[in-house]
Chains A and B, each alone.
Chain A
Amino acid sequence: MNEPEIGIAVVWVFLFGYAILGSIDLGAGYWSMIYGGERENRPAQTANRYLSPTWELTNTFLVLLVVATIGLFPHAAALLGSVLLLPVGLVLLLLTIRSAMMVFAYSSSAQRFIRVLRIVSGVTGVLIPGLLLSVLPVTLGGFISMENGYPQLEFARLFTRPTEYAHLGFGLSSELFLSSIFLADYAREGGDEPTSRVFRRQAMTFGPIAFAFGAMAVITMEPEAQWIVNRIQERWPYFLLSLIVFIVSYLLLSWPRPGGRNGYIRAAVIGVVLQYAIASLAYGTAHMPYIVYPLMTVYEGATNPSMFWWLLTGYAIMAAVLFPGFVLFWRLFLKDKRYVGTK
């Protein structure tokens, strides 16, 4: 592997990390809205208990993704930045409203207020992954035109094409699937079986929907994007494997067990993350070497080797230095029964 290929692998890791963490985070906001009626009930409390200490950290992963792309692929970032002004600008607006309203809701004690704030933050949050995923069709070709040698996004055309809506739907349903299955596990960890059951049922609904939208996103590709459809077909064993892992995880999730604690949820969570990893890796390799088809490859987009190695060294040191902090964090908020448990 040469430098640009290592670089794109690093970006993929951050992208995948944010896709999972962000889906759980934004989805949890949505569930907090759904179950946070007049009197907040247990599922909403569980979602909020997870969100309070983690949303900030999750947001930092998003920033890490942006910063890594700019650092490792400055030329590609310049192209993406020019083209994506409007969609990413909208994401930023929604994200800001979402985070601010969520924090305001935590600081408020008037039920009426909290309700409104939760609805605003839930709705804005649920839209973000869909919008973010709609960036994907743009990178596949057919939506960028050149005006006086400068790239412009055909925004209006993008939003009239079925592929855009398949991607939107995939982002949305994945968010709800990933967050509900995670919260089912989180609630069980805290010993709250009824809540776990509620989220497990949601996960069982949204799992197949997400999978169907994923398949639809491939089927509805634009004619300009046929190149990637062909490459996806070449990689069918990976996608078959992904399907198998999905089915196994789904079975694990729904497996009846004695004592009412149905489903091997922890195993299902790991399986589902694995399945997304396999599918997105296969998709990613099919996307190679283009960052934006046909305008920019990873080789054209990458920074100079000396900067590249400094940045990579930086990530390694960062991971090593912060590791103890992450361990402490994990113990305090994801493991410690005094925090996770319902009292």
Chain B
Amino acid sequence: MHTVNMARSLFGVSMAFHIIFATMGVGIPFMILCAELINRFKPDADFALMARRMTKGFAINLGVAIPSGTIVGTMLALLWPGFMEIVGQVIAVPFQVEMWAFFLEALFLSIYVYGADRLSPNMRLLSVAFVWLGGTASAVLITDAHAWMNTPRGFDRIDGKIMNVDPWAAVFNPSIKVTAIHVSLSAFTAGAFVVVTIAAVKLLRRNLEEQVRRYYLKGLTLGLIVGLVVSLATALNGHETAQMLHEYLPEKLAAAEGLFETTSHAPLVVGGIPDAEQQRVVGGIEIPWALSFLATNTFTGVVRGLNDFPREDWPPLFTHYLFDLMVMIGSFLLAISALSLLLRKFGPRKYPRWLLTILVFTGPLALLAIEFGWIFSCSGRQPWTIYHVMRTAEAATRTANVDLLFVMFTALYVFLLVATGLVLRYYFRKHPVIEDLNKRNVPRTESKGV
């Protein structure tokens, strides 16, 4: 059991680390594409510069995204050999197709970054669109494997042997559509709010040059508009995701909401501590009938509680906090971006300082929501690795030395997190916007890059 828990910890921290850079790898190209598109149809040198500076940050991000992805990809086989043995027989297709996406992204990123000055404007737009497509497609494809773990289809497991394999039934499993959309939209959300955070930090500086101010205001408004749209879409789609849980993984939804007894007119409890002894969530705020509505679109809908399921199959109860935090952050992002845009349009002053101060936190919060959402989704599947097919203990390696690797990798992640932050800061300190604004007519090439 000890090895299993070490394997879970090692894999969990590795994923939590990778997802930060992976999400940026999906969200930032989305913002670059937005900026390039604006510049293409309504030429504006500020947006062209924004795309270039974001690309630089993206390239640094990639230096960690790619090796950390290589780590988790390989670790799947190292830590969960029993699981990967089934993956290889049933759901290998998206993993393979993901390779196309990686190639697509890698190829066109180099072309976009190092070849831009030798490409026509349309080719440049096309390359950055491919970079975005590659990142998003890789996220969707890996999510397919994850969705299949939640709603496994396309095989039978008889006496431990895999039979009657239907790869396409596995690929198009019932939860892939909502989950893929949720993952992509939430990554775009994170990308947009990271742009908001950076712009807000800069705009809080006093005595900015006027052209620098204008540049960051454009960035802020772009981030807020995109952020509003995609976070609204994320929330609407999150609602559908919850209904998917209701239909296919009822114990996960019950744990997320701290619902013990099956009931109609189920209330939604925000916050509080789920308590198995008292069979209720202690100290939460109860919204009557809301859970029934969330899960079934009617107030009378019956939602199943945890008591319907054997105790040893319960997901951990702490998933309630993770779910609540994700939803709270989502609602907050939606509200604050709507408010900011309203104030900008109708308020006395564009973006007052108190608002900018709040906006600084949106990017980190969006990333936190991603972390909470994933840990919720993976831990909420426990004790199963493949829902109702394979338990986590069965999937795990039994090799010694996982402890040693856990310590080494955790140290590496902490170090890289700090180092990446410092490198980004250092780079953009050394190359402030004002410099770029002043040498606008200098050609795009850089002698040495990534």
Contacts and interface: CB of A to CB of B under 8 A. Distances in A.
Is the A/B pair a real complex?
A: yes
Interface of A: 48-49, 52-54, 56-57, 59-60, 62-64, 66-68, 70-75, 77-86, 88-89, 92-93, 95-100, 102-104, 106-109, 150, 152-153, 155, 303-304, 306-307, 310-311, 314-315, 318, 321-322, 325-326, 328-329, 332-333, 336, 338-339
Interface in B379-408: 397-402, 404-405, 408
A96 B86 CA distance: 28
Contacts of B412: 93, 96-97
Interface string B64-81: 101111110111111111
Given A63-B73, A89-B408, A108-B427, 7 more contacts: A56-B106, A67-B73, A70-B87, A71-B95, A78-B82, A88-B78, A329-B110
B405 A86 contact: yes
Interface stretch (B111-119, B177-185, B368-376): B111-119
B111 A328 contact: yes
Interface string B229-243: 000000000000000
Nearest to A71: B92
Contacts of B115: 332-333, 339
Given A104-B423, A306-B167, A52 B71 contact: no
A99 B65 CA distance: 10
Interface in B30-88: 56, 59-60, 62-64, 66-71, 73-82, 84-88
A134 to B, nearest CB: 16
Given A78-B82, A107-B427, A306-B167, A322 B89 contact: no
Nearest to A74: B88
A304 B77 contact: no
Contact of B63 (A86, A100, A303): A100
B2 interface: no
B74 A74 contact: no
Contacts of B130: 325
Q: Which 5 A-B pairs have the closest CB atoms?
A: A74-B88, A103-B63, A71-B92, A53-B110, A81-B77
A311 B114 CA distance: 33
Given A53-B110, A100-B419, A107-B427, A74 B89 contact: yes
A60 B408 contact: no
Contacts of A53: 110, 113-114
A100 B66 CA distance: 9
B429 to A, nearest CB: 11
A297 to B, nearest CB: 16
Which label, helix, strand, loop or mixed, suits the secondary structure of the A interface? Answer: helix
B123 to A, nearest CB: 9
Nearest to B109: A56
A83 B86 CA distance: 18
B401 A86 contact: yes
B107 interface: yes
Given A56-B110, A70-B84, A85-B397, A64 B99 contact: yes
B103 A318 contact: yes
Contacts of A96: 64, 67-68, 70-71, 412, 416
A106 B450 contact: yes
Given A70-B77, A82-B81, A52 B99 contact: no
B102 A63 contact: yes
A121 to B, nearest CB: 10
Contacts of B71: 92, 96
B100 interface: yes
Interface of B: 56, 59-60, 62-64, 66-71, 73-82, 84-90, 92-93, 95-100, 102-104, 106-111, 113-115, 118, 130, 162, 165, 167, 397-402, 404-405, 408-409, 412, 416, 419-420, 423, 426-427, 430, 448-450
Contact of A85 (B108, B165, B399): B399
A226 to B, nearest CB: 27
B67 A326 contact: no
Nearest to B85: A78
A67 B99 contact: yes
Q: Which of B76, B96, B104, B162 has the most C-beta atoms of chain A within 10 angstroms of its own C-beta? A: B96
30 contacts: A52-B450, A54-B110, A57-B106, A57-B110, A63-B73, A66-B74, A71-B95, A74-B85, A74-B86, A77-B81, A77-B84, A81-B78, A82-B397, A86-B399, A92-B70, A96-B71, A99-B63, A100-B63, A107-B56, A150-B399, A304-B89, A307-B88, A307-B89, A307-B167, A310-B93, A311-B96, A322-B107, A325-B111, A329-B111, A336-B118
B408 A93 contact: yes
A49 B110 CA distance: 12
A80 B398 CA distance: 13
A62 B416 CA distance: 22
Given A66-B73, A106-B449, A83 B399 contact: yes
Given A95-B67, A99-B67, A103-B63, A318 B100 contact: yes
A89 B72 CA distance: 11
Contacts of B67: 59, 92, 95-96, 98-100
Nearest to A73: B88
Nearest to A325: B107
Q: Which of B77, B87, B88 has the most C-beta atoms of chain A within 10 angstroms of its own C-beta? A: B88
Nearest to B405: A89
Contacts of A66: 70, 73-74, 77
Contacts of A102: 63
A333 B98 CA distance: 25
Contact of B93 (A81, A314, A338): A314
Contact of A332 (B60, B114, B448): B114
Contacts of A77: 77, 81, 84-85, 88
Contacts of B107: 57, 322, 325-326, 328-329
Contact of A84 (B59, B63, B78, B85): B78
Nearest to A48: B448
A185 B170 CA distance: 47
Given A62-B70, A89-B405, A95-B67, A80 B77 contact: yes
